[in-house]
Structure 1
Amino acid sequence: MANELFIATLSAGAEAIEVTLAATGDDLKITAATSERLFLRHSHGPGWRIINGLSRITGITADEHAVWARLSAGADT
């Protein structure tokens, strides 16, 4: 999952990418961020099917500098 987010961000031409894992209760949020602006096309593509299939919710940040996915060990996954 983190690899797919990394690849989506890498395609923006970023020189540096920061991948963050943040856990809260049963939730895990994985974020791949860069200083480059990401366009909507970076949150779509072959790898994005994997991300959407394994995560509860996904998105691109409001500032368009990161893509993220939230996973949950709860019953609603």
Structure 2
Amino acid sequence: MKHPDAPLIANELYVAVLQSGAPVVEMGIWTAGNRIRITADGPDPLPLRNSHGPGWQIVCGLADITGLATDECGVWAQLGTKR
């Protein structure tokens, strides 16, 4: 599945983790049917501003579901869950 907002969302997730000072950002993209899940993870917990700043508002506005990883070192967004 292709989604027009996926590149922008992936970029904003990447920037959120990179701005936390992470020397490495691991990105992941998974598809299942009409859903796309995009993740960005770093080695350390993210400061609150990196997971809830202006870029996060863009992600939340475009994605169907968003969240912070359980270890607080990454962020994710899912597209294609709304019908």
Query: Considering the TM-score relative to the shorter chain, is it more than 0.5?
Result: yes
Shift of 1:40: 2.8
After TM superposition, what 4+ stretches of structure 1 lie above 4 angstroms from structure 2?
none
Unaligned stretches of 5+ residues in structure 1: none
Which residue does 1:58 correspond to in 2?
66
- TM-score under structure 1 length normalisation: 0.88
After TM superposition, the structure 1 = structure 2 runs for residues 1-77 of structure 1, keeping only pairs within 5 Å, are 1-72=9-80, 74-75=82-83
Task: Give the whole-Å Cα distance in 2 for the aligned partners of 1:73 and 1:63.
Answer: 24
Query: If the length of structure 2 is used for normalisation, what is the TM-score?
Result: 0.82
Please give the alpha-carbon distance, in whole angstroms, between the structure 2 residues aligned to 1:6 and 1:15.
Answer: 12
Q: Within 2, Cα distance between the matches of 1:58 and 1:73? A: 11
Aligned CA-pair RMSD:
1.3
| Percent of matched pairs sharing the same residue | 45
- Count of residues in Structure 1 that have an aligned counterpart in Structure 2: 75
